[in-house]
Amino acid sequence: MRKSVQELAIAGASPTFPSPLHVGRPNIGNRERLMERINDLLDRRWLSNAGVYVNELEQRLAEILGVKHCIVMCNGTVALEIAIRALGLQGEVIVPSLTFVATAHALQWQQIKPVFCDIDPVSCTIDSSRVEELITPLTTGIIGVHLWGRPCNTDALQEIAERHRLRLMYDAAHALGVTSGGKMIGGFGDVEIFSFHATKFINSFEGGAVTTNNSVLADRIRLMKNFGFSGYDNVVYIGTNGKMPEVSAAMGLTSLESMDEFIAINYRNYLAYKDGVKDIPGISLLPYSDNERTNYQYIVLILDETVARIARDRVIDVLQKENVIARRYFYPGCHRMEPYRSLQPQAGLVLPETEKLVRQTIVLPTGTDISLEAISEITDILRCAITNSDELTYLLTAR
């Protein structure tokens, strides 16, 4: 049911959607296949520690990504922490502030200072032209983030890393099934890490992976994720517990089998949003490149408040009252979160593009749980709110 601006202003009692439409709603895939796998692992009584599903998932991912080694983990954050440790990073590491806070925390957790770099406003990934000015004698590495499935400038970052003898890794949590220059993400830099959290396009409930073409590094990472054990009773390295359980691998394998279908649905949704917002003043949909493969998992709107004449947060409030649980990912940027806000109070001074973008984004629901009709209703809410922004602001503030 389409609402008038007056109805939007008093919404709450009868929202457009009876139950919440969340960003990050998981894709489930083939339930029967998942249950078969779960029954099988229960029958075999092998629940964790290098089980057959974990091995199969690692092989399958390595094939899809065209990379020599894939080591799956219990989540993406632990994958980041282990990769950082295996690479021997210390001192300072250059990283974008526009990312989920796990990227920065994985460094700080190990007493490494994240040095925040601004983003390129088109790709929304680390601005490679601003990296070199942040390098100091303490710098040991660079972490690029393929944010929202947009690849970093991998050529430029590789060149900088080699010239300054720095380690290069990528947080590819959003970038499964994405290419950069036609090559699948997974094999760039020294290592890349993935997340298979429930909110990700391919999920294993919780899960993550490190991928690399470096066999020495892969061996070290395998040891580290299993307490450093090399065979029974033989610990050769300091390690932790980063293992993925079999039930997660069962979900991951099942999810991967539906990968093409999930991408097709996400693409359909992306086109519907694109069409739905094209005539709304002050709103644009962050485009995906037509030249690369991608997963279309993040629907990111950019709201120009001066043109739309309404605050981004007010639009989010209106959507949420209609049960569209839109998000401000990744507001306010890591540098404005603790402990970075206290440790590096001046960081924002060199992050003008990041500071601008975090005030403009609205991330909307997509995936298999949303219909084209729902997308049409969501874009109608946006159109009504923005084309009547003066009246809506008046009604909301007068209440």
Pattern 160-189, binding to ligand T4K, x per CB under 6 A?
-----------x-xx---------------
The smaller minimum CB distance to ligand T4K, of residues 77 and 388, is found at 77
Contacts 24+ apart (CB under 8 A), 63-67: 64/177, 64/184, 64/256, 64/259, 65/184, 65/185, 65/186, 65/187, 65/211, 66/183, 66/184, 66/186, 66/187, 67/184, 67/186, 67/187, 67/211, 67/212, 67/213
108 contributes a contact to ligand T4K by CB under 6 A: no
Distance in Å, CB of 389 to ligand T4K, minimum: 25
Query: CB-based burial of residue 27 (10 Å sphere; 0-12 exposed, 13-18 middle, 19+ buried)?
Result: buried
- Using DSSP's 3-state secondary structure scheme, residue 54 falls into helix
For residue 151, is the peptide bond before it cis, meaning its omega torsion is within 30 degrees of 0?
no
Name residue 363's beta-bridge partners.
300, 327
When asked if residue 100 is in the footprint of ligand T4K (CB under 6 A), the reply is yes
Q: Using CB under 6 A, which residues numbered 252 to 311 contact ligand T4K?
A: none
Stretch that binds ligand T4K, among 17-25, 55-63, 234-242, 308-316 (CB under 6 A): 17-25
What the block records as the tokens of 254 is 């099942």
DSSP 95: E
Per CB under 6 A, 328 contacts ligand T4K: no
How many chain residues are in contact with ligand T4K, going by CB under 6 A? 22
Task: Show contacts with ligand T4K in window 208-247 (CB under 6 A).
Answer: 208
16, 27, 97, 103: residue in contact with ligand T4K (rule CB under 6 A): 103
325 part of the interface to ligand T4K, by CB under 6 A: yes
98 binds ligand T4K (CB under 6 A): no
Residue 319 CB coordination number (10 Å): 25
CB of 331 to ligand T4K, least distance (A): 11
The binding site for ligand T4K (CB under 6 A) comprises 22-26, 75-77, 99-100, 102-103, 145, 171, 173-174, 195, 197-199, 208, 325
